[in-house]
Structure 1
Amino acid sequence: MQINEVDYELVEKILLGNGHFNSKQKEFIELNESKTIVAGPGAGKTTALAAKIVLLLKYLIALNSKDGICIITHTNVAVDEINNVLSKAGIGIIDHPHFIGTIHEFFNRYCVFPFFKYKFKHNGLIIDKEHESDLKYYEAFLGRKYPWMNDSVKKAISRRINNSELFLNKDNNTLDLYNSTNWDKFDRYKTQMLAAKYSRKKQGFLTHEDTFLFSSIFLLESRFKTMLRQRFKYVFLDEFQDTTPPGTILLEDLFGIEGNVFQKIGDPYQTITYNQPIPEIDEQQVFKLNITNRFGNEIAEHLNIIMPNANIQTYPEKRSFKPIILLYKDEEEIYPEYQKIIKEYEEMDQFFRGNTMDDKVLVWARSWSSIVKKGVAYKEKKKKKIKSVNDILKSFVTDFIVKKVVTNTENLSTAKLWFSGHYKLAELHTILIKIIKYGLTSTTKTELKEFINEILQEKGVASINISNNIFNQLETLLLNPLVDDVENTNDIFTIHSVKGETLRSVLVVDFNEKPLTNILLHRYEVNEDGNYLYTNHNLLYVAMSRVTHLFVFAMHIDDWNDRTQEKLDKKWEIRAPFLVVSAD
């Protein structure tokens, strides 16, 4: 794919204003082979990926190519961002034959829904975390097989069926059941437990974990694999480190072959979900997008000590402050001292003062909030949680459909579950994007009307017409979208909660077993103990890499000794406001 300067100027103007892509970003944008793109903090991964999609689509359109692009995102926020860029570039939103959405949306649409339609002639799947009626179904199933069984035994076995996990037995390519509850009588009842579980699934009551299970079964037929491979030549998996192993394995098996371009983009060193293994990476297949625009070398050099494989590079003109070790005796004095440091730097540096990003205290555990600020419990609410226009419209249309359908279903919650897992939800998303972009024109009204009627007809509910009041209400919502603006007066957050954010400064506190202090001291060769969880290691990396200017790490005076002084004194600025130094 040849990209000229005019093409770059187009996407740079949309995405960067007066800025330009750096050499690494351009290399990634033009990369046209299967690779793992390890994108460091502040390296402009999302921006470069959006530009890549725009230019690739322009290229395919110019060739009149039928090659499809598949973009697997971790959240729907990324979907909106990429579609917004495409609209500004005059291309329009991602539509047939391409796909953009989460990994569950992809496999549900192209594997699970076709499987149930093909295998069981079933269209109405309900996909949720769990289904309250499952236990009663299993009890009834056991009652038919074992009429002599008393109710308490049926209830007990039903709970075991519910908690036992289905899996695909690769030895014979059939469904099997794990003894997930370690039941000593499992083998005796396994056949009926498996039959009950499978019978319930055939009715269309699935959980999110079933997405990958039934996709694996569907893809056992090579013709279905071939169809998807031929349709989607270009596949991009964003935030691959947050993708669960079953999903990654499926994508690798499906698209990780010659003839397809499969690129995984993310940062494995930001894998901070407990029990989620850090992705294994073939270093021969890695492209590093590692020039950061977030901070200067003052921060990067320490990140490269904490996480050497990250190899973060910086712009020479980018400046941050030397990070600070804040020594303390009493925990309650940490926060006031941090506020003094912020005020000091604001008075000293106009760029820091003019930076509008937040300053946050980051904790490993929520319970530490009341240690930092005595008696102040951790608050979950974030500042200015704004609901997108797309989400508002989607919720409104969903409520309209569910209320129409509920007359023919058991109750409102059942109808909501049914529609929340409907395979045509992605089509609604596409229609709403058009409405946001072009307004409620006769064309978009007709598309939405036909979509709603198709859903209603599935449940035998009467159709609507263009004069229905829903269109007037949507017009009002477009003019006056509601937002939920919730102010959080607390500035203490878990490290997990700020992943992906950019902050002006950060204070990290570390109490109890001091997992982060132990890692810091090991990485700077103060102690030899390197036996710590990789998730905690990654948490420290994530915390430091959020800042544009200032990183402060609070360390108890008991963890400071001559060797610590020797290893850290010249690398960090050491603040010890609680020590009284006597004059000789």
Structure 2
Amino acid sequence: MQIKDGDYKLVEKILLGDGQFNSKQREFIDLNESKTIVAGPGAGKTTALAAKIALLLKNLSSSNSKEGVCIITHTNVAVNEINNVLNKAGVGNVNHPHFIGTIHEFFNRFCVIPFFKYKFKHNSLIIDKKHQSDFDYYITFLGRNYPWMSKPQFNGVKNAIAERIQDSELILDKENNTVDLFNSTNWDKFEKYKVKMLEAKYSRKKQGFLTHEDTFLFSSIFLLENRFKAVLRNRFKYVFLDEFQDTTPAGTELLEKLFGTEDNIYQKVGDPYQTITYNQPMPDIDEQQVFRLNITNRFGNEIAEHLNIIMPDANIQTYQWKRSISPVILLYKNEEEIYPEYKKIIKEYEKLDQTFNESSKEDKVLVLTRAWSSIVKKGVPYSEKKQVKLKSVNYILKSLIIDFIVKRIVLVEESLSEAKLWINNHHKLIQLNTILINVIKNGLTGTIKDELKKLINELLQEKGAVSINVRNNIFNQVEAIFFNRQASKAEKNTDDIFTIHSVKGETLRSALVVDFDDKPLTNILLHRYRVNDNENYLYTHHNLIYVAMSRVTHLFVFAMHIDVWSHKVKEKLETNWVIREPEVETAVN
């Protein structure tokens, strides 16, 4: 792909203002072959990827190429970020023949829906975490196929088997290319009832009642036919998988089989060392196929040198001019000392370091489990509102509006499943995402309210439903969610304890990591600094301490119990860590 210098400078100006892409970012943008891009913390991965896609789409458009671009993101927030860049660059949103969306959206649209149309002659799908009515269906199925189970004295047996059907997993038998049932519950009588259990489970799926895991199962079945694979490979020449470490193994394997060909350019972008979902394996990395985007703009060498000890393979590089504060080991005797001492450290550095003092980023206490919150602040439980933190405001607003539209469409004799399927696959959802981003940034102004009303009415009119005006209660609900968000932001100074999992992807001014109970993070730290030889720890814990430290721009504090502070530990850590020892009490005569 030949990038015109004018286009490159335009996109660079839009994204970076007076700044410039660094050498690694520029190399990634120009990279035109299948690679795994390992992007370190603060390396500008999202910015560089958005620039790359904008320039690629501009190039394809100007050359009238029919080659498609497929961008698979981990969240809809990333979809919005990329589309915003494309709009600013004059490219517009990603539209046909290109695609942008989550991995489930991709496979549902291009594999699952076509499969149901082709195989079962319908596409009335309801995809959810689970369906409450499944159990009743299996009860009815068992009663019909085993008449003896219809007798009242066998209700317990029937219910137990129905639960086994519900909990057992449908799988693809790759040797025979057939659907099979896995004994997920390890039931000793599984083989006796397996044939009918499989029949019940599969017949329910054929009706269109699917779970999110079924997306990959039915996509795998659909793609058994080479002609279907060929269609997708020919349509999408360029494929980008964002945050590949967070993609499920089933999804990753399916994408690899589909687009891992000589004729496709398939680039996986992310950071495998930030795989922190329990029970999800670290993705396999072929070093021969890796490109490292590893120059960070987030912190200086004071942080990077320790990250490279904790995770040597990350090989994080920094700018010489970028400065952080040497990380701190906060030694403590009693847990209640930790939090006030951390606040005291922050105040001291605010006086000593002007850039730290002027930073608008947050300071957070990071815990491994929610239960540790009441140890850090005695008797104060982990705030329940953080449970919805991972669900973005954009997602909440989008769900609210989609549900509103679906309910009005159903009133004009549209089935619920068909209405949901239609709206969730509508191309105008991209426009809805853009409007909602503006709501989050600016509030529900009169102009934005008119834009939202216009879009909702276009969708309603398309299905013959009655239009709405700006006095409709849906706008009051949108406004309430926006104001609740503002109120939550105002509470941030008093509620500053978060799990490490919840801050992944964030940038903080400082972070305090505490480590209680069996002290798994302390053990990893001591191993990485060669204090001990114990490598018997979970890779997720190893990655969590890497994630925690890599969030900060300036200051990282690790709380360590004084009992751990042996002469050997001191010898290994005191060179490059600032050691904060507890104040010695002076005896009073």
TM above 0.5: yes
1:384-426 residue CA offsets vs partner (Å, 9 max, x unmatched) = 99976786366325313224416858xxxx94x7655557434
SS in structure 2 at match of 1:550: strand
| Structure-2 change in CA distance of 1:206 and 1:393 (3 Å) | closer
Moved more, 389-398 or 83-92: 389-398
Once residues 495 and 458 of structure 2 are traced to their aligned partners in structure 1, the CA distance between those partners, rounded to angstroms, is 47
Q: Which residue does the alignment assign to 2:316?
A: 312
User: Structure 2: how far apart are the matches of 1:47 and 1:112?
Assistant: 32
What is the distance in 2 between the residues matched to 1:153 and 1:365? 39
Looking at structure 1, the residues matched to 135 and 481 of structure 2 have their Cα atoms a distance apart, in angstroms, of: 40
State the 1:181 CA deviation.
1.5
Could you say if the C-alpha distance between residues 19 and 577 of structure 1 is closer, same or farther in structure 2, counting changes exceeding 3 Å? same
Alpha-carbon distance, 1:144 to partner: 1.0
Give the distance between the partners of 2:348 and 2:262, measured in 1 at CA.
57
Deviation, 1:118, is 0.8
Contact 2:405 / 2:456 at 8 angstroms: preserved in 1? Answer: no
Partner of 1:103: 103
Task: Tell me the equivalent position of 2:572.
Answer: 567
Structural RMSD (CA): 2.8
**Residues matched between the structures, number:** 567
Counterpart amino acid of residue 91 in structure 1? V
The runs of 5 or more residues in structure 2 that have no matched partner are 439-446
Which structure 2 residues correspond to residues 58-73 of structure 1 after superposition, within 5 A? 58-73=58-73
Contact kept, 8 Å, 2:449 with 2:470, in 1: the verdict is no
Residue range with higher mean Cα deviation, 217-226 or 439-448: 439-448
The answer for the alignment partner of 1:88 in structure 2 is: 88
Query: In the alignment, is the contact (CA less than 8 A) between 1:168 and 1:175 conserved in 2?
Result: yes
C-alpha distance in 2 between matches for 1:63 and 1:340 = 60
Say whether 1:202 aligns with 2:206.
Answer: yes
Tell me whether 1:558 sits opposite 2:563 in the alignment: yes
The residue aligned with 2:496 is 491
TM superposition shift of 1:124: 1.1
Distance verdict in 2 for CA 1:580–1:527, change over 3 Å? farther
- Determine the C-alpha separation between the residues in 1 that align with 2:327 and 2:315: 18
Aligned letter for 1:559? V
Q: Is residue 283 of structure 2 the alignment partner of residue 279 of structure 1?
A: yes
Q: 1:385 to 1:214 in 2, by over 3 A?
A: closer
SS class of match (2:238): strand
Deviation at 1:469, TM superposition (A): 2.1
Per-residue CA deviations over 1:141-182 (Å, capped at 9, x if unaligned) read 111111121322211111111111100111110100011122
Residue in 1 that maps onto 2:340:
336
Residue aligning to 2:304: 300
SS of the counterpart of 2:32? coil
Q: Kindly indicate whether the alpha-carbon contact (under 8 Å) linking 1:95 and 1:430 is maintained by their aligned counterparts in 2.
A: no
Report the counterpart of residue 27 of structure 2 in structure 1. Answer: 27
Aligned twin of 2:441: none
Among residues 182, 186, 191, which one is paired with 2:190 in the alignment?
Answer: 186
Map 1:91-490; keep pairs closer than 5 Å: 91-149=91-149, 150-381=154-385, 392=397, 395-405=400-410, 415=416, 419-420=419-420, 422=422, 424-432=424-432, 451-452=459-460, 456=463, 463-464=464-465, 468-469=467-468, 483=482, 484-485=484-485, 486=488, 487-488=491-492, 489-490=494-495
How far 1:472 sits from its partner (Å)?
7.4
Q: Would the alpha carbon gap of residues 475 and 127 (structure 1) be closer, same or farther in structure 2, given more than 3 Å must change? A: closer
User: Cα 1:474–1:80, aligned 2, differ >3 Å: closer, same or farther?
Assistant: farther
1:14 Cα deviation after fit: 1.4
**Structure-2 change in CA distance of 1:318 and 1:261 (3 Å):** same
> What is the alpha-carbon distance in structure 2 between the residues aligned to residue 423 and residue 482 of structure 1?
22
* CA shift in 2, pair 1:386/1:354, >3 Å: farther
Distance in 2 between residues matched to 1:154 and 1:406, nearest whole Å: 38
- How far is the alpha carbon of 1:183 from its aligned partner? 1.6
The alignment-based identity, stated in percent, is: 66
Task: Tell me the CA shift for residue 446 of structure 1.
Answer: 9.1
Relative to the length of structure 1, the TM-score reads 0.91
**Preserved CA contact (<8 Å) 2:409 2:460:** no
TM-score normalised according to structure 2 size: 0.90
Q: 1:127, 1:418 within 8 Å by CA — same for their partners in 2?
A: no
What is the distance in 2 between the residues matched to 1:440 and 1:520?
Answer: 50
> Contact (CA 8 Å) 2:335, 2:375: kept in 1 or not?
yes
**Could you list the per-position Cα deviations for residues 456-478 of structure 1 after superposition, in whole angstroms to 9, with x for gaps in the alignment?**
5xxxxxx236xx22587599789
Change (3 A) 1:555 1:480: closer
Q: In the aligned structure 1, how far is the partner of 2:37 from the partner of 2:511?
A: 27
- 1:536-559 deviations in whole A, cap 9, x for unaligned? 000000000000001111110111
**Structure 1 contact 83–94 (Cα < 8 Å) conserved:** yes
Q: Distance in 2 between matches of 1:127 and 1:449?
A: 26
Paired letter, 2:403: T
SS in 1 for 2:266: strand
The residue type equivalent to 1:523 in the other structure is R
SS in 1 for 2:427: helix
Q: Distance in 2 between matches of 1:405 and 1:423?
A: 12
* Secondary structure of 2:516 counterpart: coil
Tell me the equivalent position of 1:535. Answer: 540
Name 2:553's counterpart in structure 1: 548
